[in-house]
Amino acid sequence: MAGSTKKSQAGLDKEANRRHKSRTMKLFSGSAHPKLAQDIASELGMNLADVRVEAFPDGETAVKINENIRGQNVFLIQPTSPPSNHNLMELFIMVDAARRASAQQITAVIPFFGYARQDRKDQPRVPITAKLVANLLTAAGVNRVLTVDLHAAQIQGFFDIPVDHLYAAPVLIRYLRDKGVESNLTVVSPDVGGVKMARAYAEALGADLAIVAKHRVSATEVEAVNVIGDVCGRDVLLVDDMTETAGTLTAAARILKQQGAGRIYAGVTHAVLTELSHNRLAESVIEELICTDTVPMANGPKVKPLRIAPLLAAAIERINNAESVTSLFKI
């Protein structure tokens, strides 16, 4: 009898907690990745808030929030993946709608932060577009940003508002351990800029570290130059924050195989895949591309998308409850 009472009370407490969250927090989805937004809502035991996002005949975006959000913590879930400009503009408009509806705090949940590669002036007379996007988000009314694996961590400094920068490494590492690829493994960075991320994976998996030096021929073509480290007879995990054309990964895999590598896997956070990248992966020596589902195009042959919703849901819940999210940053 006592056990039954405890179970009933636990059920009541869970329901009360769900209702409390629904009163204090609202989750909205843009059109960029509704499946991910629904997955996050399910993890939190909530429903997505009612919002209408549609296009006028001339292509302009129209947004209408169909429920009261006055005094609520609002989380707008919208990766700015392709079509990047459309998804960004839609996010700005949703933020403005929420601000004018008297939301207490607006958090832009941007699992994939577009324009992150334009983070510095690498040529004369070019913009720093990542900084521009940060300014526009703040001007629109965003109070906080939640994102995953920025292309360059220092982009956080482009914002004058809090940025919670999560890492997908724990999600990928858990899968790799379950797959049993830890033994005889070398983690490889496909370029010098990714060494820090590769080292973190290598330390977590107890693996060796190697680097592929590359030369970029064009926006879609990369030429691998040399391998720094020993990969002969070893399985390899290529790690990067994102891939779009798969040029860097497939070129690196080719030279690693020439150096005597065994099975070759690739692990990226954001798989912004195109027809070109699918063709390259199909023809490459990469056995599997392991990624998260931060963007809707993370799927296809040789592609293994892992759920990022549990990580984002945990962060959203902690932000809403004014709790620390530091433990979620750890790899």
Q: Which two tokens stand for residue 26?
A: 């609202």
80, 108 Cβ separation under 8 angstroms: no
Joined together, the tokens standing for residue 235 give 């399985």
Query: Domain locations in the chain?
Result: 2-167+310-329, 169-306
Per-residue pLDDT at 1: 52
pLDDT at 9: 60
Quote the pLDDT of residue 8: 59
Which pLDDT belongs to residue 193? Answer: 80
Q: Is 59 helix (H, G, I), strand (E, B) or coil?
A: coil
What are the catalytic residues?
Answer: 214
Given a contact cutoff of 8 angstroms between Cβ atoms, the answer to whether 227 and 212 are in contact is yes
pLDDT for position 315: 97
CATH number of 2-167+310-329: 3.40.50.2020
Q: What is the pLDDT of residue 16?
A: 54
Q: Distance of CA 292 to CAs 57, 100, 295, 299, 304, Å?
A: 34, 34, 8, 10, 8
Residue 293 is given by DSSP the state: B
Residue 274: what pLDDT? Answer: 95
Q: How far is CA 32 from CA 81, 100, 183, 209, 274, in A?
A: 7, 22, 39, 36, 16
The class level of CATH for 169-306 reads alpha beta
Per-residue pLDDT at 191: 83
Instruction: Tell whether omega for the bond before 83 is within 30 degrees of 0, i.e. cis.
Output: yes
Q: How far apart (Å, rounded) are the C-alpha atoms in residues 288 and 265? A: 5
Same fold, 2-167+310-329 and 169-306: yes
Residues of the chain predicted below pLDDT 50? none
pLDDT score, position 215: 61
